[in-house]
Amino acid sequence: MNQPVDQAEERVVVPTTPANSGSPRWIGKPVALAVIVAVAAAAWHLRSSHTEAAAAPPAPPVAISAPLQHDIETRLGFLGQFSAVNRVEIRAQVGGTLTQIHFKDGDIVHKGDLLFEIDPEPYQIKLSEATAQLESANARLALATRELARAQQLQQAQAGTVENVDQRVAEQHAAQAAVDNANALVRDAKFDLDRCAIKAPFTGRMGTHLVSTGNLVSGSRAGSSPTTLLATIVSLDPVYLDFDMSENDYAAFQQSRANQQGPLADKVNISPTGATGFTREGTLNFIDNALDRSSGTIHARATIPNADLSLTPGGFARVRLATSAPQPALLVPDAAVLADQTDHMVFVVGPDDVATPRKVEIGDLRGGLRVIRAGLAPTDKVIIDGLPKVRPGSKVSAHAGTIEFTSSQDDGGAKS
């Protein structure tokens, strides 16, 4: 007869084999399912392991190098503005009608070049009058001199009196004074006539002319009465470069100069706006005698040669001022330094080829490289190329790189 089948559980009959001779064994369905699940899980785990192993990315290739050691000096950096050594307002010393302008606005003129002409005719008339007075005074002096000589001869011959001689002496002195006065009038008239031609007081660049020809200008030699401003001229060679030092920078500057002897004469390097490097040199020749209370800075000034006249008063330039002799320092490429909020770091590769971030203190740029003040040792291996693919604590495939110092390249940047 057939065995009844329980509705709640199916049974599987395991056939009898020589290994399991005897009565048939019955296995429940839950046990069978558990075996199947276990086998499937093992297969899935094996397949997943192979997939992960195949998908794991290779270690990124990077270039590493020890920091470059180079002797550099400590220096301070500032922003300065050019100003003219000489700046003059061209004003008339005599009044009259402006008849000629002998320059174009913005021209570079040389000392003694004619700039403006004022109608000279009134002053030529004045000079002629003064010359005529001088001639008259000279004639009176000659007559007084002859009369004095005759009076002296008559006195010696007992034919004249002492009083007559004294009178002739007084007349001769008065005539001499008249001559001196006439000479002064001639010089005065000639001075005014000469000032009708206004010339450049020094070599420099002219500004725009402020009065056109035909206008009546007023002038005064004393400068007490209002005079007409005709133009301005500024000198170009050399030029001043004015900048301000903070109190801390000034203290560092004083400290660096504490053991130096002699007058203040320090070399500065400058980089004008638009220049590719610090291509010019100058001399620091003035530091003010007090700090400004409102800004906490002190004014300083350097003199810059400008033989090619390319530097213009009012322009800006970066200034470098060395404060120590060259000393050994560590340098790395600027691209190897990463900013981390307010800190900076580099990646260092250890013997196990693991990239580890290292916090560093940086200085300015020198020779195209970044100065590392603290945080690195000369033997550390720094990643200098391939940083975008590096993750902290990950392995890398490192190969040797090189760091080059470009001596011809001058850099600005922060103070070091």
- What pLDDT score does 34 carry? 53
Please provide the DSSP assignment of 195-219 as one string.
TTEEE-SSSEEE---SS-TT-EE--
Q: What are the φ and ψ backbone dihedral angles of 18, each rounded to 5 degrees?
A: -60, -30
β-pairing, 369-374 vs 382-385, is unpaired
pLDDT greater than 50 at residue 415: no
Q: Report whether pLDDT(2) > 90.
A: no
**Is residue 116's pLDDT more than 90?**
yes
* Residue 183's pLDDT band (cuts 50, 70, 90): very high
Task: Give the span between the Cα atoms of 275 and 232, in whole angstroms.
Answer: 28
Residues 6+ apart with CB under 8 A from 314: 81, 82, 83
| Residue type for position 401 | G
| Alpha helices for 226-274 (secondary structure H) | 247-256
Contacts of 74 (CB under 8 A, 6+ apart): 256, 322, 323, 324, 327, 416
* Mean predicted lDDT score pLDDT of the chain: 80
Q: How far is CA 278 from CA 38, 193, 275, 304, 321, in A?
A: 75, 50, 8, 13, 11
Tell me which DSSP letter residue 18 carries. Answer: G
Per residue in 309-367, pLDDT (tens digit) is 888 889 999 998 877 777 788 888 888 888 877 888 888 988 888 888 889 888 878 77
Can you list the domains of the chain with their CATH numbers?
Answer: 62-72+328-400 (2.40.420.20), 76-84+239-322 (2.40.30.170), 91-235 (2.40.50.100)
Residue 196 has pLDDT above 90, yes or no: yes
Give CA–CA dist 354/392, Å, rounded. 8
Question: In the predicted model, is pLDDT for residue 288 greater than 50?
Answer: yes
Q: What pTM value is reported for the model?
A: 0.63
Q: Measured between alpha carbons, how far is 27 from 7 in angstroms, rounded to an integer?
A: 16
Confidence tier at 27 by pLDDT (50, 70, 90): very low
Write phi, then psi, for 266 (nearest 5 degrees).
Answer: -115, 140
| 3-class DSSP state of 232 | strand
In the chain, % of residues over pLDDT 90: 24
pLDDT at 119 over 50: yes
Q: Looking at this protein, which amino acid is placed at residue 61?
A: P
In this prediction, residue 1 carries a pLDDT of 43
Q: What integer pLDDT is reported at residue 260 of this predicted model?
A: 59
pLDDT of residue 111: 92
pLDDT single digits (tens) 67-113: 888 887 777 888 999 999 999 999 988 989 999 999 999 999 999 99
Contact present, 416 and 320 (Cβ < 8 Å):
no
Please tell me the distance from the alpha carbon of residue 199 to that of residue 192, in angstroms, as a whole number.
Answer: 14
CA distance 207 to 84: 13
Could you tell me which of 168, 161, 166, 162 has the C-alpha nearest to residue 147? 168
Record the tokens describing residue 165, joined without a space: 């001689």
Check pLDDT > 60 for residue 409: no
What pLDDT, on a 0 to 100 scale, did the predictor assign at position 197? 92
DSSP-derived 3-state class of residue 291: coil
Predicted local distance difference test score (pLDDT) of residue 299 = 93
- The DSSP code for 38 is H
- Neighbour tally for 237: CB within 10 Å: 14
Choice between 41 and 178, residue whose per-residue pLDDT is larger = 178
- Peptide bond preceding 238: is omega within 30 degrees of 0, i.e. cis? yes
Interacting residues of 56 by C-beta distance below 8 A, sequence separation 6+: none
Give counts: helices (H), strands (E), the chain.
4, 25
Greater confidence (269 vs 256) lies with 269
Q: Choose the weakest-confidence range: 181-195, 257-271, 281-295.
A: 257-271
The tokens describing 205, both together, are 């660049």
Share of the chain above pLDDT 70, in %: 81
Greater model confidence, 154 or 44? 154
